[in-house]
Amino acid sequence: MRDAPVIRIDLASSVPAYRQIANAIRTLLVSGAFPIGDPLPTVRQLAVNLGVHHNTVAEAYRVLSEEGWLDLRRRHGAIVLDRSRPRPSREARPSLVQRLRELTAEAQSAGLAPGVIADSMRAVATELTAGKLKKA
C-alpha cells in the first residue's frame, strides 16, 4: 500500500484554510500523486488530520469538483477525475492572477526579491508542464 500524499496548511496564513487545502490537493493532482479513479481521503478523515472543521475540507472538495478535478458522490466520497483535457473557464485567468498577486505579496513579505519569485514561478510551471513536480 502506498503512502498517502502529505497535505500541509498554515492556519496563521491570510489565505483561507479551504483555499490552502484546495491548492495543495490540486498540486498533488497535477503531479499525479492521486491516480485517476482513486478516492481522496474522506472529508472527516482529512479534517481530523489537518485539525480543521469538516466543512472546511468539504468546501475545498467542492471547489475542486467545480473545476472538474473531482467527482463528489454521497457515500462514495471524492473520486479523482481525468483532467488530461482541462475544461476552459472564463474565471481561470483572473482567479490565477489574483492568487499569484497574493502569493507574490506573501513571498515579498518573507523577504524574497521579485526576480527570485518570478524565477521560482517559471520553474514550477515548467515542472508541472513536464509532469515532474518536485516534492517540497
How distant, in Å, are the alpha carbons of 67, 116, 118 from that of 107? 26, 9, 11
Question: 78 with 93, same domain?
Answer: no
Question: 77 with 95, same domain?
Answer: no
> Mean of the per-residue pLDDT values for the chain?
87
Which residues span the domain enclosing 110?
89-136
Partner residues linked to 71 by β-bridges: 79
| pLDDT value at residue 56 | 97
Question: 56 with 119, same domain?
Answer: no
Question: 129 with 100, same domain?
Answer: yes
pLDDT at 1 over 60: no
**Upper half-sphere CA count for residue 22 (Cβ side, 13 Å):** 21
Q: Whole-prediction pTM value?
A: 0.65
| pLDDT value at residue 92 | 75
pLDDT at 134 over 80: no
CATH, residue 33: 1.10.10.10
- What are 17-67's pLDDT values in tens digits? 999 999 999 999 988 888 999 999 999 999 999 999 999 999 999 999 998
How many domains is the chain built from? 2
Question: 80 with 94, same domain?
Answer: no
pLDDT at 136 over 50: no
